[in-house]
Structure 1
Amino acid sequence: MDAPRPKELAAGPPKHPAWGWARAWRGWGPVELVLFLANFAVALQRPLTTQYLWHRLGEEVGYNGTSREGGCNDTVDPKQQEVETLTSHWSLYIDLSGFFVGLFSATLLGPWSDRVGRRPLLVLASFGLVLQVIVSILVVSLDLHVGFLVLGRLLCAFLGDYSSLLGTGFASVADVSTPRSRTLRMALLEACLGISGMLASIAGGQWIKAQGYINPFWLSLAMLITTTLYCAFVFRESVPDPQKASLFTLRHYRLVFQLFATPSPGKSRKHLALYLLALFLVLTIHYGTWDIAVLYELSWPLCWGSDLIGYGSAAQHLSYIVGLVQLWVLQLCLKDSWVAEVSLTFNIAGLVVFSLAKTTALMFTGYGILSFSLVVTPVIRAKLSRLVNKTEQGALFSAIACVSGVSMLAATGIFNSLYPATLNFMKGFPFLLGAFVLLIPAILIGALEIFDPRPEYQQTFH
């Protein structure tokens, strides 16, 4: 019989003290902080970019109502309409440029993260956002052509884009939560998005008014660099046993396809498809109305300055925080599906108010109603997550990221084209259209709950 191995040899070769420190340091950081930091930067940039396009293009066409303090003309100015149209179109070009690249990168990276872990994808997507904001800084500081913003969007999309970062965050929550707690955990994650977005919006609005555009972009860059370093060295990996896997392989695309094509116990392809359709419609209206809200507020008759736009954007993000409390309370007496229906009712009512808003008070009334409207998205994500195996969460959330990308493209194409086309007869018509479209997901979610009381998503693999 072999002699027993000494204790220190049985444990393996001695390790450098720095190895143990690094391992401990990389094991405690929650994913909520990743999305908090990244969303702060994105929420700071999005209205900032729209306002920069508005003022930059306004200067080029000779429109004199482009001061950062607001104060646009009290009558409809043809040049103002030209600036609105140009800004809408450039927003469309920027979003469209990254869509096709992001569509393929998201479906490639999501299933890859099921094998190698969530950390590599979080690092890649965060670094892509860093590159995008660097390009924006160069455009603003050097007065480069606004077309260079398209380049920044492409670089970001190639590395996964914000939608992949968001999808990976939700996949990480699905990895470590139970089916019972998943809806509330996802609402908590969205509340983190809301808090960061609200803080960024208030700070950005005041900062633009005081110092212009460049300094807020620098803050956004600092936040994204911090996010990238946090993902690389602090984030707690949620995949139990990460393995090496090739990135550039068609197998990852097949895994996404198999979610819908391969039947398995407890999986309902019908539920997957219908809930993804409902999510697509909700996100399309969400992105589309947020896209045009800043234009709607900048122009007559509201004529908001950057400070009021910041408060409005903060009110939008307040929905995430209110939604967490709303979900916790309503879950005491209602099923998740009916909680989503209540949320959609508030969403529809808020958009109707927006479509009629001619004063600041009425616009903020619409924001108040919409603050109860965002519970529907964590409910749908949680229902979808319960439909698939634990090893398919990355593939599922990459599919959700694709749906998010398609909805963003549809929203940008529809709303940024519809808004200038309807200025002459009803400026708030796109909001009214969005309210009618939201009736469709309301019907879908209600029908699935009423006519299929034994849905397959109640069976889980966990």
Structure 2
Amino acid sequence: MDPVARMSFRCTDFSLEVFALFFSVSQATSASLLQLLLEISSCLSNDTTVPDSSAIAQCVAIVNNRTAPVGGQAEEAVPLQDIVFNLPTISLMCSLLICVLLGGWSDSHGRKPLFILPILGALSKDISSVVFVLTEFLYEGPIYAITIVSGILGGINLFMAGALCHVSDNSDHRTRTLRFGVLSFVFFVGGAIATFFEKAWKPAMTSGTSLTMVGGGLFTVLMFVDLVCLIGVTVWVKESLRVLPGYSGNPFQNFVSLHYAKKVLDVVYRRRNLNGRSFVILLCLVFLLSRFVYCGEQEVWAEYLYGRFSWTHQTSLLLGLQFLCEATLTLLAVCLARKMGIQDSSLAIAGTLSFVASSALKAFSLSGSSIGFAVIIGALSPLMTIAALALLSKLVQPEEMGCLFANVAVLSVVAPVLATVVYRELFVATWWKASQLVYLLSILVATVVGLLLMYIRRNLHVGVLGILLQEEKVPLLGSMDSVSGAAVF
């Protein structure tokens, strides 16, 4: 096939991204709703009386007034709670085991379970939430229980790992970075839509009756969305795994064995040609540190704006605009990189510089008028992780993709958990009067990431691909003069 012809795309190539968008919006909205129910149930648990409609209405008012401004100023100096790192973190931690077991398993038995199980978990969570809201069964224990069950089935973490596997299976070395950029765009836009949507439904919950009507209705809609996603990934998303010749074995027996867990670990530490193992380890470290600093800043960014400017509704709007800005500029950057043949390592360095510049502005010269500039300057930050994942996927063999992205799923849990602990403790210790220390930490870690990327850019070359040179992808490794598209590295 003509290499240039293989650079074109069809609409059906992005069928998974469509359902990923719906699923990401559903998961983010569900997390917001469950966080609100958790706060209300916590308020009810402090009440000595038996919970009834009047007690629920009172707790709804208390929770809403906790972050509501009065006369343009905050009623009390209580920092906003970032919902992204509460119940979702519990779900992420519970997804570790299933990601490790199913990642390697999918390399032999197919990718579909990587999508189906998380959606089934989301459906079970939505159905249980509808029952809890309609029956006013608002207790902390059941809310944590349905979150844990959903996490055990993989949650958004397993779905993302499956999406990365699917994209890697259906792309070559020139188009993979672009496909990862599109996937990142989808999840960022999903987060922005959920944030804007929250501004519409949250003010409507002003009493116990409105909580039942709005909450029950929203969870019903989310249940329908998840059902559409389940049907979509089952029927319209094609299985992307290559058939392994000569393979035999019982899928269930292979799943419960620890054979695939060992393969997940081996994919990082196995020996590769031309010191390829060192580059795999370095890129995993780059991904971990990049996620650490990005999640850490997101953890305290909303509270920082609230503490410094007493913003509540403005903060929510700004977060949604930030997600949308990052999604748009990142997608434009990867498209431009593909057009001009910019190396993935250079793309990652650009993302690092964007993050450092934004952190420096936040640390030393942030004001109400410069917040927008800080958001725009840092909009290319996701390129750090996108380019690192693209490079990783080009260093391993096609039959190792599931194992690779199982490791990525584990790092995707470790990074935000560490960031929550480190950044929140540092932020609380210094509060907003000395919060520059938070952004100085980000600059320091991002500088380390930049140095690692410069080393990788200098020393990584096509020969590290090893036996991939013997496959049909050889024409893709030609000079940029013969074919257009992003460079291999």
On the 8 A contact 2:114/2:161 being kept in 1, the answer is no
TM-score of the superposed pair, with normalisation by structure 2:
0.76
Task: Report deviation, 1:139.
Answer: 6.0
Task: Report deviation, 1:145.
Answer: 3.4
Task: Report deviation, 1:355.
Answer: 4.4
2:110 to 96, 111, 117: 117
Q: Corresponding residue for 2:18?
A: 33
1:145 aligns with 2:136: no
323-332 vs 353-362, which moves further: 353-362
Q: Corresponding residue for 1:364?
A: 372
316-325 vs 448-457, which moves further: 448-457
Query: Structure 1 386/318 Cα, relative in aligned 2: closer, same or farther at 3 Å?
Result: same
Q: Distance in 1 between matches of 2:282 and 2:38?
A: 37
Give unmatched runs, 5+ long, in structure 2: 1-11, 48-58, 207-213, 474-489
1:155 to 149, 162, 166: 149
Q: Corresponding residue for 2:386?
A: 378
On the 8 A contact 1:43/1:200 being kept in 2, the answer is yes
2:195 to 184, 193, 201: 201
Q: Distance in 2 between matches of 1:76 and 1:68?
A: 9
Task: Report deviation, 1:392.
Answer: 0.9
Query: Structure 1 428/64 Cα, relative in aligned 2: closer, same or farther at 3 Å?
Result: farther
Q: Distance in 1 between matches of 2:366 and 2:127?
A: 37
Query: Structure 1 441/425 Cα, relative in aligned 2: closer, same or farther at 3 Å?
Result: same
On the 8 A contact 1:266/1:459 being kept in 2, the answer is no
Q: Corresponding residue for 1:318?
A: 325
Q: Corresponding residue for 2:444?
A: 436
Query: Structure 1 230/330 Cα, relative in aligned 2: closer, same or farther at 3 Å?
Result: closer
Mapping of residues 236-251 of structure 1, within 5 Å: 236-241=238-243, 245=251, 246-251=254-259
Give unmatched runs, 5+ long, in structure 1: 1-26
Q: Distance in 2 between matches of 1:367 and 1:403?
A: 25
Q: Distance in 1 between matches of 2:342 and 2:117?
A: 40
1:172 aligns with 2:192: no
Q: Corresponding residue for 1:447?
A: 455
Give CA deviations for 1:103-148 in whole Å, capped at 9, x if unaligned.
2211101111112211122100122233344455566663623454
1:128 to 87, 104, 121: 121
On the 8 A contact 1:173/1:186 being kept in 2, the answer is yes
On the 8 A contact 2:363/2:440 being kept in 1, the answer is yes
The secondary structure found in structure 1 opposite 2:380 is coil
Q: Corresponding residue for 1:271?
A: 279
The secondary structure found in structure 1 opposite 2:441 is helix
Task: Report deviation, 1:452.
Answer: 4.4
On the 8 A contact 1:128/1:155 being kept in 2, the answer is yes
On the 8 A contact 2:344/2:390 being kept in 1, the answer is no
The secondary structure found in structure 2 opposite 1:247 is helix
Task: Report deviation, 1:224.
Answer: 2.1
Task: Report deviation, 1:445.
Answer: 0.8
1:309 aligns with 2:316: yes
Q: Which amino acid aligns with 1:313?
A: G
Task: Report deviation, 1:373.
Answer: 2.0
On the 8 A contact 1:302/1:359 being kept in 2, the answer is no
Query: Structure 1 371/452 Cα, relative in aligned 2: closer, same or farther at 3 Å?
Result: closer
Task: Report deviation, 1:350.
Answer: 2.0
Task: Report deviation, 1:283.
Answer: 1.0
Q: Distance in 2 between matches of 1:140 and 1:419?
A: 35
1:328 to 325, 335, 339: 335
Q: Which amino acid aligns with 1:236?
A: K
2:69 to 62, 71, 80: 71
Q: Corresponding residue for 2:9?
A: none
1:393 to 388, 401, 411: 401
Q: Distance in 2 between matches of 1:299 and 1:132?
A: 34
Q: Distance in 2 between matches of 1:355 and 1:219?
A: 41
- Percent identity reads 18
On the 8 A contact 1:205/1:308 being kept in 2, the answer is no
Q: Distance in 2 between matches of 1:258 and 1:218?
A: 43
On the 8 A contact 1:284/1:407 being kept in 2, the answer is yes
The secondary structure found in structure 1 opposite 2:434 is coil
Task: Report deviation, 1:454.
Answer: 5.8
2:29 to 44, 51, 61: 44
On the 8 A contact 2:21/2:190 being kept in 1, the answer is yes
Query: Structure 1 357/308 Cα, relative in aligned 2: closer, same or farther at 3 Å?
Result: farther
Task: Report deviation, 1:354.
Answer: 3.8
